[in-house]
Structure 1
Amino acid sequence: MGLRRWWLPSGAFSVALLGLLLWVSRSDEALDRGDKLAGVAGAVLAVGGLVISVIGVVVAVRANRVADHAQAADTLARLVVRQWTREAGARGLTRPIDIDWATTLRSVAPSPAEVVGDPRFTRLTLHGAVPDLADAFRALPGRQLVVVGEPGSGKTSAAILLALGLTRQRGPGDPVPLLLSLSTWDMVEHDFETWVAHRLAVDHPVFGERGVHGPQVARALVELGMVLPVLDGLDEVARAGRVFAVRAIAEVVGRNRPLVLTSRSEEYEEVIREHGVAIGRAAVVELGPVRAAAAADYLTSGVPAGDGRWDELVAELRDHPDGVVAEALSTPLAVYLAKTAYGSPGTDPADLLTCGTPDAVENHLYDAYLPALYPDHDRARRRFAFLARRLARRPGSDLSWWRLFLLLPGAHTLVAATRGAFIGTMVMAIVLLPGLVWGLLQPDPGRRPLPPGHIVVLYGILFLAAVVVGAVVGGLRGLARWGVTRLMRREEERLVHLPRYGLLRLRQVLVRLVFAVALGVAVFCSIAFMDRGIPFSWDEASAWAAFGAVLMANLGLAPRIRADEPIRPAMSLAADRRIALTLGAVTVVGLSYVLMSVTRNQALRSLGVVAAIWITAVWPMSCAWVKFEIVRFWFWAFGKTPWRLMGFLEGAHRRGVLRQVGGTYEFRHRRIQDYFAGT
């Protein structure tokens, strides 16, 4: 826990200590009470010192265990293999299209002597197929490689297969490939190594705040060169930031760090021309076009015998390898679109032969893409178009479920206003609804009864007022918080709650809650002992026990993560929802009981319930899941996405429209996103 996270307990302790001193000084028997207090404090400090010593030993042992960098690297390697093996299968890369690569002829690479580390080399000739990239990379003395290609040429697929190949061939002490999308790098707030460590912790929660390894180990792996960054999509970085990105990357890899980078050819050539210096000792290879024969072989793979739908198109590809259709199908993306669009038996691939230009073929494939995947393809197209346009307005954004609320207009203000309206609704429902029911069923005989319709209207107005007031107060709070963040030039990510993972088993929960109850009772008994005038009361003792249970629930129910599987978006959403509901229920019930036990006045008791709801809303329920629920409500309310938003995203991933990177979703290809966005 960083120092900045100790301000709340430190402030609470300071306030409690100040109140205790005031209580002693204002008493007529200050010396006597002070003497008793000193005795109790000495005993508490002695026990506390013992507890802290034991905790220190346990923490030291745990730190030595989880800070084993080699063990952490092995854990990461297993997670990477499982993650990208699954994703490669989802993208159809188990049998990839046959694509060749070779040393680029563009002036973007250092001299062959620098790449090889031998002044005798004056020419460097590398070539092969995509599955050979891992062997070629391992043969480079500097272990630095840049892969460039035309739009849709398969750079991301090549990066995935390269990362998988290197991880499977990894020997003891070798760095672990970590595939990252450069579009997620906020270069204003994070330097290169900090960003890599942050993405490592986000994509693999075992290296997160509550992971068994933790963010410190993630940072150490990056700084020690035990992570091999595989950086995908330099061209997807905003144009103004590409040169800065290359400079930052070159500064790090200049220390003989391994690196893989992908980019579109023209964009990379432009960046190197502006930068003036090539990246480290990186060899630069360029992906070639898909040969017509390779496209024909891929399109007919898996087709049942006797199905002649592809015969005419395949004959055109083989007979005219430089023709219109062959030129249009010269990228893996176009071949994938054709295979998907005409995979159903009722379609005719020969329709592509009627297109007169490569652009016409490409547009035809985009138009036929969704009808092959969704029965109601018009509705699906509108939904994808909405998401793509919202992403286009926030460069660098993705479809991480915990960041989706940023796609809302006035995101922070709208989310806070919605939460405020919900809190107002809950408060009025708990406080006024019983009175409404009682007033309708049991009218006061001493007063002239109001008609039931008038009572309902009156309570409806009060409900509406509570919703409006809650929305206004919440909106002002969200706007102020966002403004302070911008004014202090702090990163917007501070307003984004990352998902929480894991929950203790029932036995562990019960053990911790029993300990919390015992702690609360012990605190009450200590107070009663210090002041003989306080009689022992089970009500007050139970109130202190409930308060201890609330604190223990919020501080101790989220365990260390021991993730043996890569985190999937639906899994992380379910975990965060489970923790939020558990902590919220314990907090609102426990605090309501504590605050209601302070007084017998019914009005003050109602006020205590209101305070409990508010504290619950701003503490355990201020989480990523709540913001996701808000964004899916607004998207659904305006007919932009279905109510089951996560199910829609999962279905799009299964169909291949989206790809998964860590715990987030992205469009399968930037050109598909641009097509839906109309750009």
Structure 2
Amino acid sequence: MSEASPRSRVRRAGLVYLVLLGAGAVGALLTAPHLDDPASVLAALLPTGAGAYLAWSAYRADRIEATAAEDPGAAADRLALAVRRQWEGEARARLGPRPLPVSWTAATVDLTGAPEPDRLSGRDAEIATVFTERLAAPRLLVLGDPGSGKTVLLVRLLLALIDGRRPADPVPVLFPLATADPAADLRGWMERRLVQDHPELGAAAPERYGEVTLARMLLDQRLVLPLFDGFDELPADAGARVLHRLNDELPYGCGMVLSSRPAEYRAALRPRTGVPARLTGTAAVLLRPLDGRDVADHLLADAGGAGTPAARRWDPVTAVLGTDAPVARALTSPLMVSLARTVYNPRPDEGHRRLPDPAGLLRLPTRAAVEHHLLAAFLGAAYRPRTGRPGRWTADRARVALRFLARHMERGLDGAAEVAWWKLHHVVPAALPRALAGALLGATGWLVEGTAMELDHRFAPNPLFPPLWEQRGGLGAVAAGICGGLAGGLAATAVITLLCVAAAGPGVSAELVLSRLGDCGSLALVGMTIAGFAFGARPRLRSPSGRHRWALLTGVSSALCYVLAYGNGAGVASSLLYGLTAAVVGADGVLRDPACPAARLRWRWTPRGVLRGLLGGTLLGSGILLEGLLAGVLAPGDGREYLAPPDPSAAFWAAQQVSAVFAVACLLVHGLRTVPVDLGVSVDVRALLANDRRTLGTCVLTAAVVGALVLGTQGWFATLFGSTRVWGATVAESRLWMYLVGLVPALLVGLAIGIRQAAWSRYTVARCWLALRAGLPLDLMAFLADAHDRGVLRRVGAVHQFRHIELQHHLAGPEAEPRRG
């Protein structure tokens, strides 16, 4: 039984201390109004700040110490465990109970530049011996025709090297070159692949290794042995450049393995333009065609053994194996043998009478015709009904979905020939997820804000501020601007306006519509500005040519709506201020796509971030103060209160409350960041999706609790120092309910942060879009898992690829036109 480490005990103690301190402070503030001297409570709480800072510093120091203690060898050991888990199951699925024997011989001189000795020849498991004992340097080139078993041989080598690995040895990792950008930095691409498949490697490395990730640290320390698969899948004009990059970034002495077809590798050695390239100090082996006797034994054994009725069906085919017949030449490839076995051999508890006759292969005139026939018949065979397990998808429906995915991978919209559920939003119009998120946040904000105002008015009534549902929802526009930028904010503005019009009923007026458009439009700009202040190392001021002109136009439009609604200048000052700020500060509030799905949240506070959040909240709150101070000029003589009270003191406290809301929003956006799943956990697609979905809920709950406590406490201090009302309710009756009202913006901001950082929200939009437009199943995750079980797809880390690139090319061909819904 293991015991908790000292660092863990310190961390728990610090967290418990902070929780008790917060609970005690809130309890004291709630009790203070019932005492004779409430100010004494504040005086008693002030000295606790030093203890709170000490506890937080101890907690942060322990986290930093734990990170600094990360040893490259320990990270490599965990990576080796994860790689073994990743590929053992895939090897069982690809090799099956009766793996085909694969043999090789030394490659010719024109491919290597020097004659290779016969000791490089071998068969099956000898590949590990060849690599570790028979090479002058750990650098090997594996050449073979399409479907000859190159990837399977690399997987066998990878597992054998991990089994024999010692603590200081590098970890073999399979890198699919088809997903690489030939023009990009090779090591940078390898780092991104490591982080994608093993997300814990995206954490920061110890300071002594520089400001790099754990993945980059392992690469720099030569603790990763790259196995590059699919060199032939690179663009035709990129092969020579990639070879030069391999020589430059993995010089002689750095181990590596590269697989390719011979023709594509020869073309890269002698490019039409540019300097010829050749891998330095690399031995090469050439995979041999399968022996006819081995193929016959494999097919008959899979059919139940020689002499069985299913096996006798193969007699016409086995009679010509080893000859020059088209079917015999086609069945020298492990891929074609595997496809033939799937198409013509029965499964357990399945008769052979309804299956096609293998003798039909003899009537095909060429080898290419045989291969095309097997590729075309494979999907129908893979989706045959299983005994006791009725399939959810027919072969025809699966073919439509798989054709679309194959074409998506061929186009490489996200730069990778793979299916990753968190990247599927690349096929969706870019503005759609933002607009839908904005509409959702707008409707949610209107509902939550109206409900909170109803409850507050019930327990702390204020005749001056009745809970009018037709004037609610502005905070939803702020959240939409944080999450979806201008597109999300405008979508929220439209939804909120429609809901307010519906709540007003037949008595709706033009003033109501225009005022809601002005309110929500300007508050959407506030959300954009909050995201600009909160994200990144520091706020980025746009150059004059790069300013967000649409944001400025939205600010002017909001000001015009106010003018038309009120017939005066109320709202113009704040709208123009928000439009100008959103146009020049930061980005549009949308984070870059995460490298991988989220697993949990962590606090990421920095002194600079806290100061930036306070400054951003103060700047945005000054719009309300400006409206109050200029009330006599903007709306002279009518005595109405518009965006801010005309009294300077009341306007100051109203601005202070709004500033607190915006500052808390800045701090939450800056501090709540996602972290990836643990490296030691087996990579499972459904687990990643579930973790990412739970992250959204955790984000909402965390932000709601923290924001409600901070904003409620801020309201309490405001009443203590002279504010006559808080959130529209009288001071005497609102001290308890100010926490409820403070919960509203915190809840909406937490929802915006969760939607923005969780890949699950984008995946939900993408799968619905693909189901409507491309005919893909709505339960896309289950479909991909089923295709993997049937052998159509293979899993590489947390993503799916087609079982073989030839199958992907066949499905993505011009004749495979997907149906449109």
Give the Cα–Cα distance (whole angstroms) in 2 for the partners of residues 211 and 614 of structure 1.
34
Question: Structure 1: which amino acid aligns with 2:295?
Answer: A
CA deviation vs aligned residue, 1:446-466 (integer Å, no higher than 9, x gap): xxxxxx99959999x99xx99
CA deviation vs aligned residue, 1:108-140 (integer Å, no higher than 9, x gap): 21325xxxxxxxxx8565211132111101121
SS at match of 2:254: coil
CA deviation vs aligned residue, 1:517-564 (integer Å, no higher than 9, x gap): xxxxxxxxxxxxxxxx9xxxxxx99xx99x999978995796785443
Partner of 1:145: 140
Give the Cα–Cα distance (whole angstroms) in 2 for the partners of residues 631 and 386 of structure 1.
14
SS at match of 1:277: coil
Partner of 1:654: 789
Partner of 2:809: 674
CA deviation vs aligned residue, 1:625-666 (integer Å, no higher than 9, x gap): 111111011112235211111111111111111111111111
Give the Cα–Cα distance (whole angstroms) in 1 for the partners of residues 43 and 266 of structure 2.
74
Pick one of 258, 261, 275 that aligns with 2:258: 261
Higher RCO (CA-CA < 8 Å; seq separation 6+): 1
Partner of 1:15: none
Give the Cα–Cα distance (whole angstroms) in 1 for the partners of residues 506 and 201 of structure 2.
54
Partner of 2:780: 645
Gap change, CA 1:251 and 1:630, over 3 Å in 2: same
Give the Cα–Cα distance (whole angstroms) in 1 for the partners of residues 358 and 447 of structure 2.
60
Partner of 2:595: 498
1:160 aligns with 2:155: yes
1:111 aligns with 2:114: yes
Partner of 2:339: 337
Answer yes or no: is the 8 Å Cα contact 1:576–1:624 preserved in 2: yes
Normalised to the residue count of structure 2, the TM-score between the two structures is: 0.60
Give the Cα–Cα distance (whole angstroms) in 1 for the partners of residues 399 and 128 of structure 2.
38
SS at match of 1:174: coil
Pick one of 352, 362, 387 that aligns with 2:361: 352
Answer yes or no: is the 8 Å Cα contact 1:553–1:583 preserved in 2: no
Tell which deviates more after alignment, 366-375 or 639-648. 366-375
1:58 aligns with 2:68: no
Structure 2 matches for 1:209-358, cutoff 5 A? 209=203, 216-274=213-271, 275-304=275-304, 307-322=308-323, 323-344=325-346, 345=352, 346-347=354-355, 348-358=357-367
Gap change, CA 1:174 and 1:593, over 3 Å in 2: closer
Question: Structure 1: which amino acid aligns with 2:82?
Answer: L
Shift, 1:500, TM fit: 4.3
Give the Cα–Cα distance (whole angstroms) in 2 for the partners of residues 88 and 212 of structure 1.
35
Give the Cα–Cα distance (whole angstroms) in 1 for the partners of residues 109 and 446 of structure 2.
69
Pick one of 121, 124, 137 that aligns with 1:130: 124
Answer yes or no: is the 8 Å Cα contact 1:182–1:236 preserved in 2: yes
CA deviation vs aligned residue, 1:156-211 (integer Å, no higher than 9, x gap): 1111111111111212422110011112223444x222222222222112323389
Question: Structure 1: which amino acid aligns with 2:409?
Answer: L
Gap change, CA 1:111 and 1:307, over 3 Å in 2: same
Shift, 1:593, TM fit: 8.1
Gap change, CA 1:90 and 1:583, over 3 Å in 2: same
Pick one of 407, 414, 434 that aligns with 2:427: 407
SS at match of 1:309: helix
Partner of 1:527: none
Give the Cα–Cα distance (whole angstroms) in 2 for the partners of residues 458 and 287 of structure 1.
78
Shift, 1:594, TM fit: 6.6
Give the Cα–Cα distance (whole angstroms) in 2 for the partners of residues 109 and 615 of structure 1.
60
Partner of 1:371: 380
Give the Cα–Cα distance (whole angstroms) in 2 for the partners of residues 359 and 203 of structure 1.
36
Answer yes or no: is the 8 Å Cα contact 1:237–1:396 preserved in 2: no
Structure 2 matches for 1:438-453, cutoff 5 A? none
Give the Cα–Cα distance (whole angstroms) in 1 for the partners of residues 300 and 508 of structure 2.
71
CA deviation vs aligned residue, 1:350-398 (integer Å, no higher than 9, x gap): 3323323222222221222112222511111111111112222225342
SS at match of 1:497: coil
Partner of 2:186: 192
Answer yes or no: is the 8 Å Cα contact 1:93–1:157 preserved in 2: no
Tell which deviates more after alignment, 420-429 or 211-220. 211-220
SS at match of 1:301: helix
SS at match of 1:619: helix
Give the Cα–Cα distance (whole angstroms) in 1 for the partners of residues 139 and 507 of structure 2.
72
Shift, 1:294, TM fit: 1.8
Question: Structure 2: which amino acid aligns with 1:205?
Answer: P
Pick one of 160, 181, 197 that aligns with 1:203: 197
Give the Cα–Cα distance (whole angstroms) in 1 for the partners of residues 363 and 508 of structure 2.
69
Structure 2 matches for 1:561-640, cutoff 5 A? 562-587=678-703, 591=707, 598-600=726-728, 612=746, 615-622=749-756, 623-638=758-773, 640=775
Structure 2 unaligned residues grouped into runs of 5+? 1-41, 347-351, 386-393, 455-467, 470-501, 536-541, 548-586, 604-648, 650-655, 716-725, 731-737, 815-821
Gap change, CA 1:63 and 1:581, over 3 Å in 2: closer
CA deviation vs aligned residue, 1:73-106 (integer Å, no higher than 9, x gap): 2211121112111111122355421121111226
1:68 aligns with 2:71: yes
Give the Cα–Cα distance (whole angstroms) in 1 for the partners of residues 130 and 95 of structure 2.
23
Give the Cα–Cα distance (whole angstroms) in 1 for the partners of residues 421 and 682 of structure 2.
16
CA deviation vs aligned residue, 1:389-446 (integer Å, no higher than 9, x gap): 22222253421111111123x4x3332233223333434555679999xxxxx99xxx
Give the Cα–Cα distance (whole angstroms) in 1 for the partners of residues 138 and 194 of structure 2.
21
Give the Cα–Cα distance (whole angstroms) in 2 for the partners of residues 560 and 149 of structure 1.
37
Give the Cα–Cα distance (whole angstroms) in 1 for the partners of residues 709 and 507 of structure 2.
31
Answer yes or no: is the 8 Å Cα contact 1:398–1:665 preserved in 2: yes
Gap change, CA 1:158 and 1:212, over 3 Å in 2: farther
Give the Cα–Cα distance (whole angstroms) in 1 for the partners of residues 150 and 298 of structure 2.
18
Partner of 2:719: none
Pick one of 385, 398, 416 that aligns with 2:403: 385
Shift, 1:308, TM fit: 2.2
Question: Structure 1: which amino acid aligns with 2:775?
Answer: K
Give the Cα–Cα distance (whole angstroms) in 2 for the partners of residues 588 and 433 of structure 1.
16
Q: CA RMSD in A?
A: 4.6
**Total equivalences in the alignment:** 563
Partner of 1:418: 436
Question: Structure 1: which amino acid aligns with 2:283?
Answer: A
CA deviation vs aligned residue, 1:590-639 (integer Å, no higher than 9, x gap): 6578769650369xx99988855663354222121111111011112235
Structure 1 unaligned residues grouped into runs of 5+? 1-36, 113-121, 437-441, 444-451, 510-532, 534-539
Partner of 1:180: 175
Question: Structure 2: which amino acid aligns with 1:668?
Answer: R
Structure 2 matches for 1:41-52, cutoff 5 A? 44=49, 47=51, 50-51=54-55
Shift, 1:338, TM fit: 0.8
User: What percent of counterpart residues are identical?
Assistant: 30
Question: Structure 1: which amino acid aligns with 2:291?
Answer: R
SS at match of 1:495: coil
State the structure with more CA Rg.
2
1:83 aligns with 2:86: yes
Answer yes or no: is the 8 Å Cα contact 2:68–2:205 preserved in 1: no
